[in-house]
Amino acid sequence: MSRLRSYLDVLQRERPPGDLVFALGFLAFCLFLFANLGEEVEWVSGMGLVSQPAFWPTVSVLGMLLFAILHVCGSLVSPRTPGRLQETVFWMRSLEYVAYLLVYVWSVPFLGYLPATVLFSLLVTFRLGYRKPVAYGAALLFAISVVLIFKSILQVNMPVGELYEHLPASLRRFAMSYL
């Protein structure tokens, strides 16, 4: 038991608030990746170990899992620092922007790439607290630039918005090709 205690002493460190929550979340994420590894990667017969398509993803996930377990162990043996709830709430606030991005991705097939990008840029600009017209002009310019670069220059195929079906025929063809 004393030998185990000396190993745990090695893991002990100053633990910032919210570290245990982060460590457990990261461990859960690693376990999720490990559980799905068999479905996502393939081991091919007749190839060398390092040449296998599944080798490096497996090494990566196992490494992440090992360090996540060590992180949780280190968090459990370290003295608790007050402020865990405040720190966790602070982290969770960033998920608001993930939700905005998901709504944006969901709205592109309905509104079209240009209208959804313009609306997303303007709404995020408002949410970030910018209220001057120059900020909205910059957001609008950014949105139009993104659409032009991706659709015209890079020729990335984006879903055509259902909103475009209600445009006049000549404008509909243009919007489906370039907007």
Q: Which domain holds residue 82?
A: 2-92
Q: Are residues 85 and 104 in the same domain?
A: no
* Domain boundary, last residue among 92, 121, 147: 92
Please tell me the predicted confidence (pLDDT) of residue 172.
81
DSSP states of 116-130: HHHHHHHHHHHHTT-
Q: Same structural domain for residues 9 and 86?
A: yes
Last residue of a domain, one of 57, 76, 92: 92
- Note down pLDDT in tens along the chain; length 179 residues: 566 566 666 666 677 777 888 899 999 999 999 999 988 888 888 888 888 888 999 999 999 999 999 999 888 887 877 877 888 888 888 899 999 999 999 999 999 888 999 999 999 999 999 999 999 999 999 999 999 898 888 888 887 888 888 888 888 887 777 66
Domain count, the chain: 2
User: Which one of 35, 68, 92 terminates a domain?
Assistant: 92
pLDDT tens digit string along 58-108?
A: 999 999 999 999 999 888 887 877 877 888 888 888 899 999 999 999 999
Query: Going by C-beta distance under 8 Å and a sequence separation of 6 or more, which residues neighbour residue 52?
Result: 43, 44
d(CA 160, CA 170): 15
Q: Do residues 40 and 105 share a domain?
A: no
Q: Give the closest residue to 75 by CA, choosing from 15, 31, 10, 5.
A: 15
Whether residue 163 sits in one domain with residue 135: yes
